[in-house]
Each structure stands twice: as C-alpha cells, then as structure tokens.
Structure 1
Amino acid sequence: MTTSKSDAEIPALQALSADIDAEVRHRFAVIDGLRMHWAEAGSGEPVILLHGWPQHWWEWRHLIGPLSRHYRVICPDLRGLGWSEGDGTGYDFDRMALDLRDLLDHLGLGQVRIVGRDWGLVVGYRTVLDRPGRVDRFVAIAGVHPWTGQRPSLPVFLRPWHIYLLAAAGGSAALQERMVRRSLRAWRHRGAFDEREAEIYAERMRRPAARAATVAFNRAVLVREVPHFLRHSRTMRTTVPILHLNGGDDPLSDGVPACFGDHAGNMRLERIPDCGHFVSEEQPGWLVERVSAFFR
C-alpha cells in the first residue's frame, strides 16, 4: 500500500494541533488543479479564517479553540503557502478569491463569515466586492482597505517597502529568509515569537512554492492591484457588514484613512491598542471577544 503526500504530512500537522484547545481535523483537496490544505474544528455555522504572510493556518491557533465552541472554524492555507501547493501563478486578487470560492463550493457552503489578515484581508475584500452573496460578515485585519487610495498618505506607500524589495529581488532564497525572520521580529509590537514559533513559519517559507508565491503576489500588488484600485475604487460599493481592525502600533497600517463612508455604509475602522501586525498572536483574547461580538 502506498502513502499519499497528504497522509505523510498529517503527523506534522497533528503535532502543531496539540497546541490548540480543540479537536482539529486536517483536510486536503484539489482546488483549481492544486492541492489545498485546510484545518477545521467545531461544528455549526462556518467561519473562514484566512492567514497572512509569512505564515499559515497555525497563526489562528489561539482563536480556533474559542470560536469552535460556537462555529465550524475553517482555516485554509492560501495558494503556495503552508501546506497548500502553488506553481508561481494565480496570485492576482481575483484568482485568490476564486480559490476561496472553489473551496466553499467543494465544502458545500453558501454564505459564510470571513476573517482575513494581511494576504487573507485582500482575499476577503475581493470576495466581498465580487461575490457579496457569499459573505455574511467580514473582519479585515492588518492592512489597507479598497478605498485607501482616495485619501493617500506617504506612510501607506512607504512603510510596506518590503513589497518593492520582494517584487524586485525576492527570488533570492537568502533574501527571503532574512525578510521572513525580520518581518516576524519587526512587525510584532506586543510580545515576541520564540525560536520554535518563528521556525514553524520559516520552515514552510523555504519551500520553492512559497518563495515563488511571495514574488508573484508582491509583483501582482504593484503591477496590477494598486493601479486597479486607484482607477476603480470610486465605483466600488458594498453593503456587507465589515469590521476593519488595525493594530495601533502596526508599522504597515500607519495612515490608513477612514474614507469609505460613501462606499461601504456598514463598515467600521478600529485601532487595536498595544498591538502590531500579528493581531491573532499579540492580542488573541481581545480579538476573540471583538470578533464574537461582531458575528453575533
């Protein structure tokens, strides 16, 4: 009897799940020709947790337990990251949102609640704008919103300088290793990742698929997505309830304006006290309470 690649990876995933106060199940399926991994726990109405860079599903370990007592919590690894496959293509926001749609279809889910941080934030916003019928409520964390360009500020464009560097020279494995380690250190304000935690993320980022994903995503942001939103944001509207949360001490969220009122009437922008970019690991208790209240 042969063992599939997915089966071989289950022990490592289960070892990570030992840190979580819930029974976590790990699943794999072929989505758009690529093998996608997700972790899930609990039962009931679905909540989708979408991680950021340079991380994977495990960034939600402090939220999975509390939320799974009331919801079916589903944490996909985005294309190319974590335990999901990638081939260096498909990193425009439209395709990544289609990955989410295809996963929801595979699971037989209609309308869901979504929480997205960093890369997960852009997937969530793209889904809200393109397929609002699939989103009951959306919590966006640690990033800009689609209407940011209507009131631009220098920090919004200058603070995420890593985007320019990774888009231009991210093919270097040594550079990416340094940037992964630096981001985990410099973007966190409250507490710090210990060596084990940092290595859990860095190890998966050494995969060729993750390095290719990093370059392709950042190039797509500069070449396609920023120009697209600058041109079209004034015509983008949604009635989906949105809670946008940025850490008060997040260097990547400095200067994000509250200029969405005419476009997203059910949206709120809030700053999280004593928190940097990694909200679910810096302020997990605060985040669970705020997300739970918003979902109710």
Structure 2
Amino acid sequence: MKHLMHSAAVLAFSAPAVLADATIPQGFESARMTSAEVNLHYVRDGGPGETVILMHGWPQTWASWVEVMPLLSADYDVIAVDLRGVGQSDKPEGGYDKTTMATDIMALMDELDISSANIVGHDIGGMTAFAFASQFPEATTTVTIIDVPIPGTPTFDAISVDPRAWHFAFHAAQGNIPEVLTAGREAFYYGAFLQKFDAGAGGITETEIAITVDAYSDPQTAAAGFNWYRAFAQDAEDNKAFMETRLEMPVLGLNAGRLSPVPYVRDMLAPLATTVEGRAFDSGHWIAETRPEELSATLDDFFKRH
C-alpha cells in the first residue's frame, strides 16, 4: 500500500464507502465466533506453523495489520481480530477492562481449538496482550507489546501526565463528554489523531483514515473505544496483581522511535518478565502501517528463535 502524506484539507473529508471497506488479503477469510458470550470478528488464513494473533489499538480495527498479515502467512496461521466493541465484533455495554478483553481472546482460541499462540498487540491491543499473557501463560507461546505503556507501571504513570498524552484523560471523561464532542466530527477528530501520531513518517493513507472514520462513526464503537480508556484505573489494579509474578514466556517490546528514541517498552517490561527483548523503529505510532516489512521480519525472527 502506497504511503502518502496529507495536508490539513484531508481532515475535513467524509469517508466514502469505497474507501471504508478494508480489502482482505488474498488467502485470508473473514469470520465471526459463534459460541462465546461476546463473539469477535476475525480475519484468518489458516496457514502452516504456529498461530499468531494480532490485536489492534485505538482508533483502529483488524485492518491496521493488513500489510503485515500476508508477510507472515507463509510460515504462520495468522489471525487479526476486531477487539470487543469494534467492527463486526459484539459491542456490549461493559467489559472493557483488559483482563476481560483478554478472556475474549482466550474464548476465540478455545472455539478454534488453538492451544497456544504468539500474542501480538499494538496500543490497546498491547495492554490486552499483557493481560492475556498474565492470565493464560500456558496459552502464550510468546507475547509482543507494541508502543504502549502498561497501566500500573511507573512508565504509564509518567506518560499519562505528559501533555502529549492529553487524550488519555479526554477519552476517559465521564458523562459521555468525548462521545458528544466528537459526534459528527469523526473525519476531523480521528483523521487528525492518526496524522498527529504518525509523526511525519508517512504511514497513514486516506484509505486507512476512511476505515477508522467508518468504524468509529458507529456510536457503539465510539463509546467502546472511549471505554477502553475509562477502564485504565481498573487495568492498573489488575496489572499490579499480575506483576507479582513474572512472565516466563519470551517477551518482545517494540516502540516508535520518532516518539521515543529509546526502547522504552522493553525497559518498562524488563522487571516484569524473565526474558525481554526490544527495539525502537524509525516510525510514528503506527508501526505496522509505516514499517510492515521491518516489523514482520522482527516478529518472524523473534518467533523462530523462541
């Protein structure tokens, strides 16, 4: 997919339907769970080798991985998931703490008869990946956490009060404040956010903005996304209990070098696991869109060594 830079004018566009539909990579199929209390939508190729489960962040969908998925599919069974509340996944009123969202992923694995997987999460998906590995270590072959601070850590506490992370508090505001203030302004708000955190790397295209605007213009999805942030206080409490036991599986921490030149995710995770690797990419927050080949190669190398 060709990476484009955009002027401010693109922020005002309305997402046409022709752009809002993500193209499923060749060899992959779209499906939905049928047996769980909360059923998730996912896209899977059923390829050879170990299973890799890819979890997106805010404000995204499974399609944030669309360039990474085919690069891994030759050697892995790749599954990209719409998290609880997004896209074609169920949108319950509650359960947006990451401990509960991790149980959604375990239910998906149970339905698909997958005993263990390489768990990969970006942003909110990274928080969910940590909760998954902490609760279901026997089902976690490896865990990769991409460009996100984990609630309950000193790193999260420092980032959450940084003015550059202003959206943490805004999205967590009670009384439907973010829902009301962004309703009808989705193209501007989500487009501006995606471009700002691209950090000039050119990883976000009009198509990717349109997919986000289309998905999060749904009021239930918008509310679910904000509820992910409202759950951070509960996540911190849950994680502090998890952190009493170190993760024993191999852990990989990745982050965007344009936003933090040091591998801060690795350093954050070092006290929480016995085996931690990490690096920073020359990209903004959207590493999978900006550096798909480099990210895929990094994941492949990590999986094969462990």
TM-score, scaled to structure 1? 0.85
Q: Is the 8 A contact 1:92 1:220 kept in 2?
A: yes
Which runs of 5 or more residues in structure 1 are unaligned?
1-11
Matched, 1:186 2:196: yes
Distance, in Å, in 1 between the alignment partners of 2:230 and 2:182 is 19
Alignment partner of 1:65 is 2:70: yes
In 2: Cα distance, 1:31 partner to 1:163 partner: 33
How far does residue 119 in structure 1 lie from its aligned partner after superposition?
1.2
Q: Match of 2:211, as an amino acid?
A: I
Residue 226 in 1 paired to residue 239 in 2? no
User: Could you say what secondary structure the match of 2:161 adopts?
Assistant: helix
Gapped regions of structure 2 (runs ≥ 5):
1-17
Indicate the SS of the match to 1:288.
Answer: helix
Contact 2:91 2:224 in 1 (8 A): yes
Secondary structure of residue in 2 paired with 1:243 = strand
Match of 1:5 in 2: none
Aligned residues: 280
| The one of 232, 241, 246 aligned to 2:250 | 241
**Aligned partner of residue 78 in structure 2, secondary structure:** strand
Q: CA deviation at 1:197?
A: 2.2
Query: Corresponding residue for 1:174?
Result: 182
**C-alpha offsets along residues 224-250 of structure 1, whole Å, 9 cap, x if unaligned?**
123444x54652311110110001113
Q: Choose from 135, 138, 151 the match for 1:133.
A: 138
Aligned residue type for 1:23: G
CA distance in 2, matches of 1:24, 1:164: 37
Which one scores higher on RCO, CA 8 angstroms, separation ≥ 6?
A: 2
Q: In the alignment, does 2:22 pair up with 1:16?
A: yes
* Residue 273 of structure 2: aligned partner: 264
Deviation at 1:29, TM superposition (A): 1.9
Compared with structure 1, are the counterparts of its residues 255 and 133 closer, same or farther at alpha carbon in structure 2 (3 Å cutoff)? closer
The residue aligned with 1:8 is none
Counterparts of residues 1-296 of structure 1 (less than 5 Å): 16-17=22-23, 20=25, 22-30=26-34, 32-44=36-48, 45-145=50-150, 148-149=153-154, 154-158=158-162, 159-168=164-173, 169-172=177-180, 174=182, 177=186, 178-189=188-199, 190-221=201-232, 223-229=233-239, 231-232=240-241, 235-250=244-259, 258-272=267-281, 274-296=282-304
Answer whether contact 1:24 1:39 (CA < 8 A) is retained: yes
* Structure 1 CA distance for aligned equivalents of residues 220 and 194 of structure 2: 20
1:133-184 residue CA offsets vs partner (Å, 9 max, x unmatched): 00001111111246732x6774453232202101112221626724322221
CA deviation vs aligned residue, 1:1-26 (integer Å, no higher than 9, x gap): xxxxxxxxxxx9996335x3x31201
Residues 220, 14 of structure 1: CA spacing in aligned structure 2 closer, same or farther, 3 A cutoff?
closer
Q: TM-score w.r.t. structure 2 length? A: 0.82
Residue aligned with 1:235, SS: coil
CA RMSD of aligned residues (A): 2.8
Identity of aligned residues (%): 27
Cα distance in 1 for residues equivalent to 2:279 and 2:245: 21
